[in-house]
Structure 1
Amino acid sequence: MDIRGIIFDKDGTLFDFGATWNGWAAGVIAELSGGDPDLAQALADAARFDLAGGVFQPDSPVIAGTAREAAECLASALPGRDVDQIEALLNAKAALAPLAPAVPLDPFLTALVARGLRLGVMTNDSEYAAHAHLRAVGVTAHFDFIAGFDSGHGAKPAPDPLLAFATAMALAPETVVMVGDSTHDLVAGRAAGMHTLGVLTGMAGVDELAPFADAVLPDIGHIPGWLDA
């Protein structure tokens, strides 16, 4: 294979989804509910979040959705609350999420760049949160392209934001690998004509990802071995 670029999803891929977002979601629900247990449960039900267990359900629309879609989801349990305000709150809180990198990111990304690969991030989170998270772990400089759902290229599962990376890097799509933890990521990669790798640091399992992936890896740390093989 002639691989010249890799575009990563963020949450569940560069960062372990559960370790990063389960506690964050519980805090957001507590704040939006104002201590009302019935409202907290209604919000949790809308987001498919298990309050008792403190974890997202695998079918939660929040997992692979955009920040706007998450805001609309929560707004369904908050009649009269402005969706724009909820989205702004989610973006502000997301930028402060307790990050759990899937692997030590700086040495991992340094090694990929040393191979001559161009690297990008495309997340259905906001571009603001993407920059905040990458900056917080000191790896922004490794990426040639960072985009969110609000960057003007669209959102996954559409292929457009992935093709924007290929165009910006002057790479043919077939020389790019899309790496993600959800079918949204992999469907977008396939539609863009890219190679696709699934990782198991999100909420989806092998059976869900395998039909859309060239390979399913435990985490992104196994990518160099896959490239060499």
Structure 2
Amino acid sequence: MPSSAIHPALEGIRLAVFDLDGTLIDSVPDLAAAVDGALCELRLPEVGEAVVRDWVGNGSRKLVERALYAVGAQDRDLDEVHEAFLRHYRQAPCRLTQVYPGVREALEALATRGVTIGLITNKPTAFIAPILESLEIEHYFALTLGGDALPTRKPDPAPLLHLADRLGVAPSACLMVGDSRHDIEAGRRAGFRTLAVPYGYNHGEPVAASEPDVVVESLGELV
């Protein structure tokens, strides 16, 4: 059960919008397996999980592009390799992926308090529902947006403003929760309050450098 005292970051907030990868879930093991599977299929060297952690956050196409540059194969057809990645990822998008500690408790506390919950990710839309359902957290989200849902994606504020408008909440009453500079920039440009977690994927940079309004070590602090 949530405590009676509300976290200061939630004061006046009616809509909490979460990033997915690196914020709610650690998806790198499955993403890395799909990247390496695609590279291996095309007889290219594998890159491994450690480096993929620094490449996540700008969508799957950019992830594959970074992998190709890393193995010196930037002349390969990006569309072909990206499709190979998607094929491998579809086969097992949630075999090794896990929810971060404190996430379930935070989502439950927000729902109990009547805060509407949304999700905006740069991950392709097709993967969102299977992952949320597999992890049994899909019922918390009033609306989800993938990176291919609109013409632009984070750090552009358009997805955030679109979701707030759809759910009928003013940006000033919205909170963007993420792990990267892209989440914080998108939130700031949309007029949202911003909250960051330091454990996710931010290209090897501390997310605090992006100057979010609040940083918490775990989303469990919101309970």
% same residue:
29
Would the aligned equivalents of 1:8 and 1:179 in 2 still touch at CA under 8 Å? yes
Q: Which amino acid aligns with 2:111?
A: V
**Greater mean deviation of Cα atoms: 95-104 or 165-174:** 95-104
Would the aligned equivalents of 2:13 and 2:175 in 1 still touch at CA under 8 Å? yes
Q: Which amino acid aligns with 2:137?
A: V
1:89 maps to 84
1:217 maps to 216
Structure 1 segment 52-131 matched on structure 2, within 5 A? 54-56=49-51, 60=54, 62-76=55-69, 77-78=72-73, 81-95=76-90, 96-97=92-93, 98-103=96-101, 105-131=103-129
Would the aligned equivalents of 1:122 and 1:148 in 2 still touch at CA under 8 Å? yes
Deviation for aligned residue 1:81: 4.7
Deviation for aligned residue 1:31: 4.3
Give the distance between the partners of 2:189 and 2:99, measured in 1 at CA.
28
Structure 1 segment 180-199 matched on structure 2, within 5 A? 180-199=178-197
Deviation for aligned residue 1:29: 1.8
- Using the size of structure 1 for normalisation, the TM-score is 0.78
Give the distance between the partners of 1:56 and 1:79, measured in 2 at CA.
17
Match of 2:45 among 33, 40, 60: 40
The unaligned stretches of length 5 or more in structure 1 are 45-50, 225-229
2:25 maps to 15
Give the distance between the partners of 1:146 and 1:86, measured in 2 at CA.
27
SS at match of 1:103: coil
Give the distance between the partners of 1:104 and 1:219, measured in 2 at CA.
6
Match of 1:170 among 154, 168, 171: 168
Deviation for aligned residue 1:7: 0.4
SS at match of 1:56: helix
Deviation for aligned residue 1:68: 2.0
The unaligned stretches of length 5 or more in structure 2 are 1-10
- Alignment root-mean-square deviation, CA: 2.6
Question: Structure 1 residues 172, 21: closer, same or farther in 2, change over 3 A?
Answer: same
- Using the size of structure 2 for normalisation, the TM-score is 0.80
Give the distance between the partners of 1:210 and 1:78, measured in 2 at CA.
33
Q: Which amino acid aligns with 1:21?
A: V
1:28 maps to 35
Instruction: For residues 7-49 of structure 1, give each alpha carbon's deviation from its aligned partner in whole angstroms, at most 9, with x where no partner exists.
Output: 0000100013xxx31464155325423495xx316xx3xxxxx
Instruction: For residues 178-225 of structure 1, give each alpha carbon's deviation from its aligned partner in whole angstroms, at most 9, with x where no partner exists.
Output: 00000010010000000001102213488442443111111222223x
Would the aligned equivalents of 2:176 and 2:192 in 1 still touch at CA under 8 Å? yes
Give the distance between the partners of 1:14 and 1:124, measured in 2 at CA.
14
Give the distance between the partners of 1:195 and 1:149, measured in 2 at CA.
21
Pair 1:5-2:15 in alignment: yes
Q: Which amino acid aligns with 1:7?
A: V
Give the distance between the partners of 2:221 and 2:102, measured in 1 at CA.
12
Would the aligned equivalents of 2:38 and 2:88 in 1 still touch at CA under 8 Å? no
- Size of the aligned set, in residue pairs, is 207
Give the distance between the partners of 1:153 and 1:8, measured in 2 at CA.
20
Q: Which amino acid aligns with 1:3?
A: I
